[in-house]
Amino acid sequence: MSRIKEFNLPDLGEGLTEGEILAWLVKVGDVIELNQPIVEVETAKAAVEIPAKWAGQVQAIFHPEGATVEVGTPIIAIDTDPGAGPVEQSTTGAPAADLPTPSAASLAAVEIAPEEGMVEPGLIGGAAPGGRTAVLVGYGPRTTAAKRRPRKATAPAGSTAAPVQAAPVPAPVSPAPAANGTGRATGPVLAKPPVRKLAKDLGVDLAGLTGSGPLGSITREDVQQAASGTPASAEPLTVTAPTTAAASFGADREQRIPVKGVRKLTAENMSRSAFTAPHVTEFLTVDVTRAMKALDRLRERREWREVRVSPLLLVAKAVLLAVKRHPMVNSTWTGDEIVVKEYVNLGIAAATERGLIVPNIKDAGRLSLRELADAMTGLVQTAKTGKTSPADMSGGTLTITNVGVFGVDTGTPILPPGESAILAFGAVREMPWVHKGKVKPRLVTTLGLSFDHRIIDGELGSKFLRDVGDFLADPEAALLAWT
């Protein structure tokens, strides 16, 4: 058994197919311990630290920081017995004796894939990497196209070069085909499968065309021009810009932000949710003066002096109590049935540097008010450090988004996939309010409830929102009456 162990990128979220290496916590030559964090990886759900599977010495790091790596791909090699002497290295970091050296004949015997009907891995009709279909837990089958991993160069036998990111191998260039009497090249026709299909549909003979693409390949435009009877111009057209053209700006005044990781998954989920679940949003403005006074009294109690107490705590408690009165709000639409949950995994939307995430408190309905406060504090602190685990963001059943911290009155939030309701909690402001027949300054907030109209009709949504508002208007009376 080889003493050199290659550690593959694990599946960090039960179905995630790739991750981006944010930072290496070790370097080549370091001696590491079992379960020591060695690399920080960002998936589509969170940034996590991965511990070492073996103790030993780092022999090779296969991918640099910033690289996106598929699950199952080796990312590091560890010598599990560094005291046994030196190990001859190949360009991939593994012992040269453990890697088969391809012969010249095997390198030459490369079969060319059929030009028509071929399907790339990860696309519809083709096998996904690893022979499985990529599924994101809680979000259904992945619909984005898989990325093809670049081929790695093969090192010459006996090489002892340090491991580096493998450079792509340049494709061998075939001799230029001889021209026939018409000036067109003879031999194989260079054209991509979609172009060949287009030519077949339009009845165009590719052998009779002169390609305008790279290396003389035939493009879609070549086929379309041949089908319309318009010959391709041998000379490029010269276009004179009008003297009154609008001013243009260069790339030095643009910023391009890659869409990946948490931001990419959020965009995909929100787009899918917005166009699959019929959203309805209702609003309720509430006088929360008594609730704010109740919070002040709570902070003064000896056992609560070290606890972070915020208005969001009372909103969370109000939602949990209202769910007990209206269980259908805490459910999921599957298409064939409605699944009503007897537990509430309460999601709290959190804005982080990597994008919006929604970690949730498991079985929050069983927690006391103090336990709920501690759970919310821990959830927010973990989210701010970017260490929220994928498990903490899976399985949510009902969500609260606190837009009030940004000074916003309310909003029309989009449902997280698989949930039937989400509550927006707006800013608490002092406003003129009619109280006991007189206009007085009172602390007021506005709630916005979005819900899936396939499950929650107007009556149910209105009653649920009303009960949340009643609790916030007088939490002490509501606790006595509802519990």
CB atoms within 10 A of CB 123: 11
pLDDT bin (cut points 50, 70, 90) of residue 263 is low
- Superfamily of 261-482 according to CATH: Chloramphenicol acetyltransferase-like domain (3.30.559.10)
Domain 1-99+128-170, CATH among 1.20.1740.10, 2.40.50.100, 3.40.50.720, 3.30.930.10: 2.40.50.100
Is 412 within 8 Å of 448 (Cβ atoms)?
A: yes
352-405 pLDDT tens trace = 777 778 899 999 999 999 999 999 999 988 888 878 888 888 899 999 999 999
Give the whole-angstrom CA distance, residue 81 versus residue 3.
Answer: 6
Handedness of CA 404, 410, 414, 418 (dihedral sign): positive
46-74 pLDDT tens trace = 778 889 888 999 999 999 988 888 888 99
Domain 171-224, CATH among 3.30.499.10, 4.10.320.10, 3.40.50.300, 1.20.140.10: 4.10.320.10
Q: In the prediction, which pLDDT does 472 show?
A: 96
Q: What is the mean pLDDT of residues 311-335?
A: 94
Q: What is the DSSP letter of 407?
A: T
Answer whether residue 453 shows pLDDT above 70.
Answer: yes
Answer whether residue 460 shows pLDDT above 90.
Answer: yes
Strands (E), 25-165: 31-32, 37-42, 47-51, 56-61, 68-70, 74-79, 135-136, 140-141
pLDDT bin (cut points 50, 70, 90) of residue 340 is very high
In the chain, what are the domain boundaries?
1-99+128-170, 171-224, 261-482
Answer whether residue 115 shows pLDDT above 80.
Answer: no
Q: How far is CA 433 from CA 283, 291, 315, 440, in A?
A: 17, 16, 21, 5
Q: Which of 98-102, 111-115, 136-140, 446-450 has the lowest mean pLDDT?
A: 136-140
Q: What is the set of active-site residues?
A: 453
Q: In the prediction, which pLDDT does 87 show?
A: 66
Average pLDDT, the chain: 77
- Collapsing DSSP to helix, strand or coil, 18 comes out as strand
Residues paired with 136 in a beta bridge: 140
